[in-house]
Amino acid sequence: MSENLLDDALSRISRFAEQADVAQEVIDSLMQPRATKTASLPVRMDSGATEYFTGFRCHYNNQLGPTKGGIRFHPNVTLEEVQALALWMTIKCAVMDLPYGGGKGGIIVDPKKLSPMELERLSRAYVRAMADFIGPQTDIPAPDVYTNARIMGWMMDEYEAIHRVKAPGVITGKPVRLGGSLGRDDATGRGAYLCTLALARKQDLTPQDTSVAIQGFGNGGYHAARLLQKAGFKIVAISDSRGGIYSSEGFDVESVYQEKQRSKQVKAVYCNASVCEQVDHDAISNEELLELDVDILIPAALEGVIHRGNATKIRARHLVEIANGPVEADADEILEEKGCIVVPDVLANAGGVTVSYFEWVQNRQGYSWDAETVQERLSERMERAFEDIWEQSRQHNTGLRAAAYILALKRLGEAVEAHGTRNYFNS
């Protein structure tokens, strides 16, 4: 993995800038975050002792609107990671043509070691530290790695208590009864599923004859696997942080998921009602999963899992990136030379932020949409964005990642130029 994730993210901006043909001011505005806040979060533990956790929040760029981005709880969170993720969110919102800039947050913590009450106190402590840094018109957080709807509900409640207002639009990904949106729970996986369908159409892939391997079986990976299998794709490999399973015959995704909820492990099973039977399979590592000879590989875990050291071993013909930054910048060229088509994270995992936008709109309107409406509008947005990027790819003779960045930089450029650039004032 790259030692500095932000440098890795910035290298792509520099690489694609010339092809985008935008003013230098646009590139300069993306070379550093607009503002970043670091806070020490005191939390009273169940033992009575007080422990201190470090939290971050980054507003990377707000040219297109208030910043938007998730909050992750993870022991390996760093300031540079948060800033890189906020930069990617800036690009992602521009790709999806959303009225948002990019933001991100995180806390250095292993949430599995906290009790439910300690987790609530930590969530509320984060909002107390960031209460003047977030807001419905300023910066709108959402769930990310190891955070969920309940945590977002705690955070919204704390923000409202501090400001003495009802402000459901300050947080997205909330429980539905607290102002959340129907369809938000599977939005990230559904967006990746829609991109995979679009890719399959472009590449003349028949679902029943298409093998898929998924690294990461969290919310995004599970829902993508579930929807793809329902559409006829063969899910031949699944893994979580502990390792994975492989069978050329494929797995019943729902059975594997239900067993994971029960045992906290990915196991090769088929379940009929409450009776589960083990199916023939090979136990594989996460590294082995990435190197499988499959039609579609879906990295849905953490960033940097494909890099210069292992990119030459990737045999999948297509990649769909659900995770943020699963392919390091120095591996892009290797994959392109191998003829691997990559649907980049700034498109493939944008279903989450898109439905978060729908949730924010509903909160502002005071009117809730049904699940069918949410899914229809998500499908329209994802398909339109995929077609826009595919067209950019054809025009510029580039891969889909470059095309996505070119499209995003052009849209950001239009916002910058609306205020006037050096060329305008000099003329």
Q: Is 230 a catalytic residue?
A: no
Per-residue pLDDT, 270: 84
| 3-state SS class at 211 | strand
pLDDT string in tens for the chain (427-residue length): 445 889 999 999 999 988 888 888 899 999 999 999 999 999 999 999 999 999 999 999 999 999 999 999 999 999 999 999 999 999 999 999 999 999 999 999 999 999 999 999 999 999 999 999 999 999 999 999 899 999 999 999 999 999 999 999 999 999 999 999 999 999 999 999 999 999 999 999 999 999 999 999 999 999 999 999 999 999 999 999 899 999 999 999 999 999 898 888 888 888 877 778 888 899 999 999 999 999 999 999 988 999 999 999 999 999 999 999 999 999 999 999 999 999 999 999 999 999 999 999 999 999 999 999 999 999 999 999 999 999 999 999 999 999 999 999 999 999 988 888 787 788 7
| 3-state SS class at 381 | helix
Strands (E), 26-144: 35-44, 50-61, 67-74, 101-108, 139-143
- Domains contained in the chain, CATH given: 34-178 (3.40.50.10860), 187-348 (3.40.50.720)
**Distance between CA atoms of 271 and 16, rounded to whole angstroms?**
48
Per-residue pLDDT, 3: 57
- Residues pairing with 52 in the sheet: 42
**Distance between CA atoms of 202 and 151, rounded to whole angstroms?**
39
Q: Half-sphere exposure (CA, 13 Å, Cβ side) for 385?
A: 34
| 3-state SS class at 245 | strand
Q: Of 37, 68, 92, 104, which one is the catalytic site residue?
A: 104
> The whole model's pTM is what?
0.93
**Distance between CA atoms of 157 and 258, rounded to whole angstroms?**
31
Per-residue pLDDT, 237: 97
